[in-house]
Structure 1
Amino acid sequence: MSSFIATIALAALLPSAVAEDASTEERLASMFPGVEAENISPTPVAGLWEVALAGQVVYLSEDGRYMVRGDLIDMMTDRNLTDDRRNEWTAQQLARVSDRLDASRMVVFTPEGEVRHTITVLTDIDCTYCRRLHRELESYHAQGIEVRYMFYPLGGQGSPGWNKADTVWCSPDRQDALTRAKAGEDIKAKSCPDTPVQEHYDIGRELGISGTPAILTDKGVARGYVPADRLAAWLDAN
C-alpha cells in the first residue's frame, strides 16, 4: 500500500473536529494530513469525491468513512475518468522535467523514413509487455514513430532489472544489447562509471509512474502497451 493511500486509510479511523459550515472539500481535507482542499473534487457519482495527490487517485464517501480504490469509468462515453486525472497531473510534471529528457542519455531506435512522432518509453527489461512492444519495433517504425527508451526497473536500485539496464548502457552497441536483453539473453559488459539509470528512475518516480511500459508523448502519457496502429491514430488525432 502506498504511503498516500495508507495515510487516507489511517486517517479515516481518527476523529476530527470540522466546522459545520465548511465545504465538503474543506471537511475532507481536514481529515487527512497532507491533503489540501484543492486536491479534492466532486465526481459525477453523487456522494463520491475524488482525492488526487502526487499522481495517485482514490475516491471517498462524503463522510470520509469509505474509500474506493480503482478506476472510475464513464460507461456512456467509455472514458476512464481516473486515467484522465492521472494524466492531467503527469502532464504537469512532464512539463517540469522536460529539460531533463536528454535523448543522448537514452537508447534510441529511429525509423529509416520520415519521423512523424517521437515517443519516450519508460521500460523495464524484464517486463512482459515492454518486451512485446520491443518485438514490434518495426511496426512502430512503419508508422513513422521514433522510440526512445529510458530505463525504469520496477524493482529499484540493486534489482536484477537495474543491473541489466546498467549492463546494456555499458555495452558497445546499446541497441543490440537492449534487444538481446529483452529477448532474455544474458548480456555481458564491463561496468562503466556513468549510466543514466538513476536519472531515469528518478524522473519516472517524479511522474508517478507505477508500471511499465509508460509511453511519454507530446499528447500525454499512455500507460501500458499500445499497438503501433492505435498509438499512431491517437498521436495523429487533433
Structure 2
Amino acid sequence: MIRTIQKKFLVSLVSSAMLLTAAPMIQAADDTSAIQKRLQTIIPNDAQNAQITSTPVPGLYQIQIGMTVVYMSKDGQYLVNGNVVNLETNQNLTKEAKAKTRKLALSKISEKGMIVYPAKGGKDNAKHTITVFTDIDCPYCAKLHKEIPALNDAGVNVRYLAYPRSGMGSPSYFKAVSVWCAKDPVKSMDDAMVGLPPENKQCQNPVRDHMMQAEVFEVNGTPNIILDNGDLLPGYVPAKELIKLLKSS
C-alpha cells in the first residue's frame, strides 16, 4: 500500500511541475517537521513542492501534490489514502481540494486551442461551461456529442480538449490533428463524430499539449467531463443529468 502511494506521488510530481510552478510549502499552524522529514524520505528531491495543510481532524494533515491528495499523521508515522468526509454536513474535503486544483489548472489552459460549442445566446452569456477530454473514436464521446445541442439550449458552453486514448502517432491521434487543423474545426468534429473520416491535415496544433494536460488532470478514459466548479465526471453523462448537476453545483 505504502509503495503504491509513494509511486503515485512520484508520478504526480511530473504533473505538478506543469501545474504548480514553484509552489511553496504551506506551513500549517502546528509543527509539521515530522511530516516534512517523512516526505523527504518518500520524495527527497521534490518534498518542497508539497502543500501541507491542517484538517478539521486533530493530528491529521492534508498533503497535496498536483491532483494527488493524501493525509498523514502529525508524527509522520501513518499515511492515509482516501476521502475525508464530514458526516454531519456530507462535505467531502478531499473532493473539494481536488476540484479547486482542477479549476485553477483549467483556467490556465487557453481556450484558443479548444473546439468550442457556445451556449444559445452566445458564449459570454452562458450559464455554465463544461470542458471535455474527447476521443473521436470513442463511442460514448460520439453519444455525448449528439447531446451538445441540448446542452447549448440549456445555456451550457461545451469545450473540447483532444485525448486520443490510443496515444501519439495512432490513427485516432491523426484524426484529432486533422480535425483541429481543419478550416472549420467545428464542422470537421461534427462529421468525425458521425463516422466521416476527416480530411488529412497537418498544422501547428494543440493535440499533444492536450494529451499532456490529460495526465495532469489524471484522465484515464473518455469522455472525461470537467464542470465549471472543478468537479471531474469520468465517463459519459446524459445531457439531462449534466444540466441538473450544473444547476446544483
**Structure 1 contact 152–204 (Cα < 8 Å) conserved:** yes
Structure 1: runs of 5+ lacking an equivalent:
9-22
2:209 aligned partner: 199
1:187 aligned partner: 197
Q: What is the deviation of 1:57?
A: 1.0
2:32 aligned partner: 25
**Structure 1 contact 87–221 (Cα < 8 Å) conserved:** yes
Shift in CA distance, 85/199, structure 1 to aligned 2, threshold 3 Å: same
Per-residue deviation, residues 130-189 of structure 1 (Å, max 9, x unmatched): 344323212202202121212133454234442331132244553344345445x36242
Indicate yes or no: 2:214 matched with 1:213: no
Q: Which amino acid aligns with 1:106?
A: M
**Structure 2 contact 52–61 (Cα < 8 Å) conserved:** yes
Per-residue deviation, residues 40-62 of structure 1 (Å, max 9, x unmatched): 23334455432111121122344
Q: Which amino acid aligns with 2:115?
A: V
Q: What is the deviation of 1:7?
A: 4.5
Find the partner of 1:88 among 72, 80, 100: 100
1:20 aligned partner: none
**How many Å separate the matches in 2 of 1:111 and 1:229?**
15
Find the partner of 2:163 among 135, 139, 152: 152
SS of the residue aligned with 2:47? Answer: coil
1:166 aligned partner: 177
Q: What is the deviation of 1:81?
A: 1.9
Q: Which amino acid aligns with 2:161?
A: M
Per-residue deviation, residues 106-143 of structure 1 (Å, max 9, x unmatched): 32223554652343323233456534432321220220
Structure 2: runs of 5+ lacking an equivalent:
12-29
**How many Å separate the matches in 1 of 2:207 and 2:5?**
23
**Structure 1 contact 124–153 (Cα < 8 Å) conserved:** yes
Shift in CA distance, 134/50, structure 1 to aligned 2, threshold 3 Å: same
**How many Å separate the matches in 1 of 2:93 and 2:139?**
26
Indicate yes or no: 2:154 matched with 1:143: yes
Q: What is the deviation of 1:193?
A: 2.3
SS of the residue aligned with 1:220? Answer: coil
SS of the residue aligned with 2:174? Answer: helix
Find the partner of 1:107 among 115, 127, 133: 115
Shift in CA distance, 59/149, structure 1 to aligned 2, threshold 3 Å: same
Q: What is the deviation of 1:234?
A: 5.5
Shift in CA distance, 155/55, structure 1 to aligned 2, threshold 3 Å: farther
2:70 aligned partner: 58
Residue correspondences, number: 218
Q: What is the deviation of 1:232?
A: 4.1
1:16 aligned partner: none
Q: What is the deviation of 1:226?
A: 4.8
Find the partner of 1:130 among 141, 149, 172: 141
Note the aligned Cα RMSD (angstroms).
Answer: 3.6
**Structure 1 contact 151–197 (Cα < 8 Å) conserved:** yes
The alignment's TM-score, normalised by the length of structure 2, stands at 0.67
Percent of aligned pairs with the same residue?
31
